[in-house]
Amino acid sequence: MTVVQLQFTALDEISKVHERLRKTFESGITRPLQYRRTQLLQIAHFIQDNWKAIEDAIISDYGRSRSEMSELKTVFDHAIHAAQDLEEWSKPEKPKVEDWLAGWDPTIYPTPKGTVLIISPWNAPYFTTFSPLIGAMAAGCTALIKPSELCPATSQLLADLFPKYFDSNAYAVVNGAVAEATRLLELKWDHILYTGAPKVARIVAAAAAKHLTPLTLELGGKCPVLIDDDVDIDLVAKRVLYGKQFIAGQACISPDYVLVPPGKMETLIAAFKKYYSTFWPKGPLNEGYSRIIAPHHHARLKNMLEHTKGDIVLGGEIEGSERIAPTIVKNVPLDDILMEEEIFGPILPLIQVSGMEEALNIVKELSSPLAIYVFTNSEKLKETLLNSTASGALCFNDTLSHAGVRELPFGGIGESGYGCHGGKYSFDTFTHRRSYANVPPAGEPFMAMRYPPCKDEVYQA
Ligand code: NAD
């Protein structure tokens, strides 16, 4: 493994970049649709021309397999569709108004918010950087990207390639860690979109509040899996294990824990064992299987495995300070270390519950996650979940898949964040809906009532 040295942006450079982007926005150059479309199509070229280099960088950062690069195709598709749909999205809207107001020409103009900041994490670096950027470009904003220092090869490649594909006066990358992010947050932005951990999100929100900057927070949480009595446990095991092992459980929508109904625990474990040996005939650590991004995250996960009160029934192998095999732990109590915070790694606790009622109570008591996964054939249960729980998304009978639907918003609620991006939702995030009215002087005779001095007549509806 070659470790790429990430070149941090000089601190005194940061405000100059900000100023450059702001001036460009003020010049109006990013407003014409043709300009925006060209930049959006450049994203598609960026991905297409550099696919292998991008994959190599992600592999260098954390050893993902090439079959786990779906985010590149997602970004490519989103950019193409945004370029196609841009005209429709940007059209002024004419709201339906009462007849007497029609002469005022009430209109809603989608207008770009201005110069925006996008801070992204390491775990899905392309989706979390480009899905918002596509929206910012489509909206006509200028944008600064601050990728994660924990994926140095990816972040360096972004910094190297950006000026070759995009208008450098409008879109820029600043690389660095806390000091650089802190400097960025001291500046005034017209919107900030932050993706990462809830702890840092609180720092970002406090900084944004100083300038009254609107904010989108894309965070994480513990995404539960609930299982109804009447489902095919074999399929549950296959789909949950797939979702958990994807990039070694380091996805914000990874299934975090499973609530197992009575009488199903041993069948479920047997099915997990079956798919474990089908997915990795030579064992996961001997096949293309992601590393844990950084030693401190590896140590955090190792500590969880050392201190859980549950029993490891599958996996548990730990390799150096880099990899941990997908690990399934049963008999996990609710006060276990595995239930304290988002696991964000390849460990899956199985919790025995007495039935769906207890499962629902557990889900409601923990803070609202980015996704809830429910395996069921019951329409009644689907309705109960819709009406009685809160989460960014609700996905039935699979894990992760909802995130592949471009037409759905991607975002959380409560502890998993607020606001969203993805497709048109990214455009909306960076767009101000500006109200417009043109009150004709000819209407003056009908307005006499509103002018002082006060009159005693009563307005009648
Ligand atoms: P990270 O460590 O890469 O941090 C994210 C970004 O925050 C980086 O760019 C980093 O430089 C910056 N940062 C760190 N400290 C900062 C500070 N003090 N001030 C300002 N910026 C700072 O990633 P992470 O936080 O470990 O990411 C993992 C978390 O992100 C998980 O909780 C995961 O669920 C969540 N996540 C959410 C989504 C989503 O779309 N909702 C997607 C991916 C990850």
pLDDT tens column, 88-121: 999 999 999 999 999 999 999 999 999 999 999 9
252 is catalytic: yes
Q: Ligand 1: does its nearest atom lie under 6 Å from the Cβ of 150? A: yes
pLDDT confidence band for 87 (50 / 70 / 90): very high
216 lines ligand 1 (CB under 6 A): no
Q: Are 6 and 180 in contact (CB under 8 A)?
A: no
CA–CA separation, 384 and 250 (whole Å): 29
Q: Cα(121) to centroid of ligand 1, in Å?
A: 4
Which of 252, 342, 420 gets mutated to test ligand 1 (max ligand atoms within 8 A of its CB)? 252
Q: How far apart are the first and last CA of the chain?
A: 75
CA 395 to chain centre: 16
Q: Indicate if ligand 1 lies below 6 Å from the C-beta of 56.
A: no
Contact 445, 453 (CB under 8 A): no
Ligand 1 centroid–CA 292 distance in Å is 15
Whether residue 458 has pLDDT greater than 70: no
Question: What's the pLDDT score for residue 62?
Answer: 85
Q: Which atom of ligand 1 is nearest to the CA of 421?
A: 40
Residue 461 confidence (pLDDT) above 60? no
Q: What is the residue-averaged pLDDT of the chain?
A: 95
Compare 287 and 120 and report the one with higher pLDDT: 120
Alpha-carbon distance of 25 to 5, in angstroms, equals 32
Give the number of the atom of ligand 1 that is nearest the alpha carbon of residue 196. 30
Closest C-alpha to 214, from 282, 78, 114: 114
pLDDT band at 448 (very low <50, low <70, confident <90, very high): confident
Q: Is 267 touching ligand 1 by the criterion CB < 6 Å?
A: no
Helix (H) or strand (E) holding 85: helix 70-90
Alpha-carbon distance 116 to 421, whole Å? 14
What 3-state class would DSSP assign to 394? strand
Average pLDDT rounded to a whole number, residues 389-408: 96
- Which atom of ligand 1 lies at the shortest distance from residue 220's CA? 34
Q: How many residues does the chain have?
A: 461
Using the predicted structure, report yes or no on whether residue 18 has a pLDDT greater than 80. Answer: yes
Q: What is the pLDDT of residue 460?
A: 59
The answer, yes or no, to whether any atom of ligand 1 lies below 6 A from the CB of 337, is no
- Is residue 283 predicted with pLDDT exceeding 60? yes
Q: Read off the pLDDT of residues 160-200 as tens digits, 9 standing for 90 and up.
A: 999 999 999 999 999 999 999 999 999 999 999 999 999 99
Predicted pLDDT of residue 350: 98
> Which residue's entry shows tokens 């199509």?
41
pLDDT for position 1: 57
Q: Which of 58, 74, 123 to mutate to test the pocket of ligand 1 (most atoms within 8 A of CB)?
A: 123
Catalytic one of 151, 223, 252, 395: 252
Scanning the structure block, which residue is given the tokens 């001095």? 453
211-237: pLDDT as tens digits: 999 999 999 999 999 999 999 999 999
415 CA from centroid of ligand 1 (Å): 14
The first and second tokens of residue 145, run together, are: 């990207």
Please answer whether residues 39 and 137 qualify as being in contact, where contact means their C-beta atoms are separated by less than 8 angstroms: yes
Closest by Cα among 6, 4, 7, 9 to 144: 9
Name the residue of 8, 58, 148, 368 whose CB sits within 8 Å of the most ligand 1 atoms, as the mutation to test its pocket.
Answer: 148
The ipTM assigned to this model is 0.95
- 254: which DSSP letter? S
Pairing of strands 431-436, 107-112: antiparallel
Backbone torsion region of residue 28, taken as left when φ is above 0, otherwise alpha when ψ lies between -120 and 50, otherwise beta: left
For residue 327, pLDDT over 60 is answered with yes
Residue 2, pLDDT > 80, answer no
User: From CA 330, how far away is CA 50, in angstroms rounded?
Assistant: 43
Cα dihedral 107, 81, 395, 367 sign: negative
Q: Residue 266 is inside which H or E element, if any?
A: helix 265-279
Mean pLDDT of 334-343: 97
Give whole-number Cα distances, 13 to 8, 17, 154, in Å: 10, 6, 21
Q: Is the CB of 75 under 6 A from ligand 1?
A: no
Atom 5 of ligand 1, residue of closest alpha carbon: 121
Q: Whose alpha carbon is nearest atom 15 of ligand 1? A: 178
- Residue of 68, 180, 218, 415 with catalytic role: 218
Q: Which residues pair with 217 in a beta bridge?
A: 194, 418
- Does the beta carbon of 97 sit less than 6 angstroms from any atom of ligand 1? no
- Atom of ligand 1 at shortest range from CA of 293: 26
Question: How far apart (Å, rounded) are the C-alpha atoms in residues 390 and 443?
Answer: 49
| pLDDT average, residue stretch 410-425 | 97
Whether the per-residue pLDDT at 271 is higher than 90: the answer is yes
State pLDDT tens for residues 123-167: 999 999 999 999 999 999 999 999 999 999 999 999 999 999 999
Instruction: Return the SS3 of 374.
Output: strand
Residue 145 alpha carbon to ligand 1 centre in Å: 13
What local confidence, expressed as pLDDT, does residue 405 receive?
94
The pTM is what? 0.95
- Comparing 70 with 334, the larger pLDDT belongs to 334
Strand partners, 435: 108
Q: pLDDT-derived band of residue 457, with 50, 70 and 90 as boundaries?
A: low
